[in-house]
Structure 1
Amino acid sequence: MPGLRPFAEITYLFAEFERTAWRLETRRGYASDRQGERFKAFMRGVEPQPEPEHPWNVNVRERTAQGAQFSRVRIIDDPPTDGQRFLMATAAGNVAAGEDIRVLPRAEATQLKLPDFDLWLFDSRTLVRMHIDDTDTTTGVEVIEDPEQVLAACRARDAAWRTAVPTAAAWAQVRSSM
């Protein structure tokens, strides 16, 4: 696909955006999570511990201290998949670093006509569309600055954000039903 590049080529955006970085997560799980030891331990019943010194959390802390905002909405199924439960269980560390993570039931996301692909939106002007294959592996990203596509992503963000609930509340409800 023309314009597709490795995710590693856009990581500078997480350090250089000015005000907001927003993510929409649409997948039922991610291969990178399933391959990790934390996920494997989670599947054995071990509660994931926060990782405050993980480079992601360090960057979030530094950037939020400078006034930037990181946020995301995760779409979850009913009942949540193992991958979605893992993401909710690990969100506390990201939230402690300064990221605002919320969840939205898939049925509501469908009603809102949210995109069916993962994305990052930086400063409401740069859209990064993630391409993920059937094994839940990121195969590349597109950097899009087309005003119509960026505006559509901004509208999706606003619609999702109004309805989504803080991940801690959703996780508490999921845990109480297990």
Structure 2
Amino acid sequence: MPLVPFEEITHLFAEFEHTAFRLETRRGYATDRAGERFQAFQRGFDPRPEPEHPWNVNVRDKAGQGAHFSRIRIVDEPPTDGQLFLIATAAGNVAAGEDIRVISRAVADSVGLPDYDFWLFDSRVLVRMHIDDTDTTTGVEVIEDPAAVLAACRARDTSWALAVPTAQVWAQVRPPV
């Protein structure tokens, strides 16, 4: 499958009808590390929710239409700085209507979850993320092959049954203030 720029699939986030699910497998993301919120987090400041961020606005809009965003984050023990940042920022996404849960890498490995990030739209379209060694997305594959989509659905369902809400994990791993 040819890689396309991520920007070419962003319309899927507004056009899906029922469900958009993300599996996050990385220990951090270059886009996060480059941002001021991450830098402030590294200095000990909790990230403030951004209710008017376009992502959260879209999540609220889709929720109002009856659609559902969810994601599973695979997290190391102990979590990396990048994973801690994602756990800390999840509250804003959850407030917008996204359901974000966490599963340990050991559990993810034991049940054979994929080792790559993906989005799954309406259990019909799989967008496999290609991310390089610097944690930068280099492109995505849009896959509609039924076998690949079914495997992603199984990964989603398996991980969901084993994951815990992000707020519960944050309460356990939050750095001391």
Q: Which residue of 1 aligns with 2:145?
A: 146
Does residue 1:14 correspond to 2:16, yes or no? no
Measure, in 2, the Cα distance between the counterparts of 1:177 and 1:103: 20
Measure, in 2, the Cα distance between the counterparts of 1:11 and 1:104: 26
Letter in 1 for 2:86: L
Over the matched positions of the two proteins, sequence identity in percent amounts to: 75
Given the two structures, how large is their TM-score scaled by the length of structure 2? 0.98
How far apart are 1:175 and its partner, in Å? 1.7
Given the two structures, how large is their TM-score scaled by the length of structure 1? 0.98
- 5 Å-filtered alignment, 1:23-42, equals 23-42=22-41
Letter in 1 for 2:163: A
How far apart are 1:177 and its partner, in Å? 7.6
Q: Which residue of 2 aligns with 1:82?
A: 81
Deviations 1:40-81 (A, max 9, x none): 000000110000000000000000010000000000000000
- 5 Å-filtered alignment, 1:124-139, equals 124-139=123-138
Aligned-pair Cα RMSD in Å: 1.1
Measure, in 1, the Cα distance between the counterparts of 2:159 and 2:119: 14
How far apart are 1:134 and its partner, in Å? 0.0
Deviations 1:132-156 (A, max 9, x none): 0000000000000000000000000
Measure, in 2, the Cα distance between the counterparts of 1:4 and 1:173: 38
How far apart are 1:176 and its partner, in Å? 6.7
Q: Which residue of 2 aligns with 1:122?
A: 121
Deviations 1:16-36 (A, max 9, x none): 001000000000000000000
Structure 2: state its 5+ residue gaps.
none
What secondary structure sits across from 1:74 in the alignment?
strand
Measure, in 1, the Cα distance between the counterparts of 2:126 and 2:166: 24
Measure, in 1, the Cα distance between the counterparts of 2:175 and 2:38: 20
What secondary structure sits across from 1:128 in the alignment?
strand
Inter-CA distance 177–115: structure 2 relative to 1 (3 Å threshold):
farther
Letter in 1 for 2:108: A
How far apart are 1:116 and its partner, in Å? 0.3
Matched residue pairs, number? 177
Measure, in 1, the Cα distance between the counterparts of 2:174 and 2:62: 31
Structure 1: state its 5+ residue gaps.
none
